Structure 1
């Protein structure tokens, strides 16, 4: 099994290369819980897959999607991202976001995204 550092770097690389759904399938647990800021969490891989697919389908242009900083702890990773893209419903979005992932058995079981709205 790869180290947590290797796993998060591979996940990030796949994301940057546009392989978001493939990365999701490989690295996320069936019972994953994902949450945007303080919104209600989305529970389960199927529900989160649908959420990801809907988001991706509405992104019309990606100018920047890159990890700036990565931290690895015991069962947890954190990534600071820089994003600049155009979304069909939200228009131009240019911001930084921190993603915090909790891992068990090589899979992400919880992920929360922190960013200014």
Structure 2
């Protein structure tokens, strides 16, 4: 399976509401995620908690639109531009626009960096 196939599968999981299944399958134990503000979150367990907190804060998921997706198969790098509409619990419906860049080691993501904006 190519890196493009793998990242496409992850975003298919997000669209179907099974993002955490993809997280378990595709992320390395020592993954480092770099958030929009530059904060580095190290380790799968810590990032799983962060992901769970995000999904627990969502009242309704209205869909995701992938506007661009690419891979560099030789370098093991993928990138996805997306827009996701959610309503947060007790909050407004917003569009989260994001670019995520993933670095792979074999079948696992070892580093992911996010660039994002939020539009209400």
TM-score higher than 0.5 = yes
| Deviation larger for 75-84 or 88-97 | 88-97
Question: How far is the alpha carbon of 1:90 from its aligned partner?
Answer: 5.7
Question: How far is the alpha carbon of 1:18 from its aligned partner?
Answer: 0.6
The verdict on how the C-alpha distance between 1:106 and 1:89 changes in structure 2, with shifts beyond 3 A counting, is farther
Alignment correspondent of 2:14: 15
Question: Aligned residue pairs: how many?
Answer: 116
- Name the CA distance, whole Å, in 1 between partners of 2:96 and 2:89: 17
| Deviation larger for 30-39 or 103-112 | 30-39
State the Cα deviation string for residues 62-90 of structure 1 (Å, max 9, x = none).
11223221010121100001111111266
Question: How far is the alpha carbon of 1:49 from its aligned partner?
Answer: 0.3
Answering whether residue 83 of structure 2 is matched by residue 113 of structure 1, we say no
State the Cα deviation string for residues 82-114 of structure 1 (Å, max 9, x = none).
111111266332132101000001100011110
1:36-75 equivalent positions in 2, closer than 5 A: 36-73=35-72, 74-75=75-76
Q: What TM-score, normalized by structure 2, do the two folds share?
A: 0.89
Instruction: Output the aligned Cα RMSD.
Output: 1.4
Unaligned runs of 5+ in 2: none
Question: How far is the alpha carbon of 1:116 from its aligned partner?
Answer: 2.5
Unaligned runs of 5+ in 1: none
Q: What TM-score, normalized by structure 1, do the two folds share?
A: 0.91
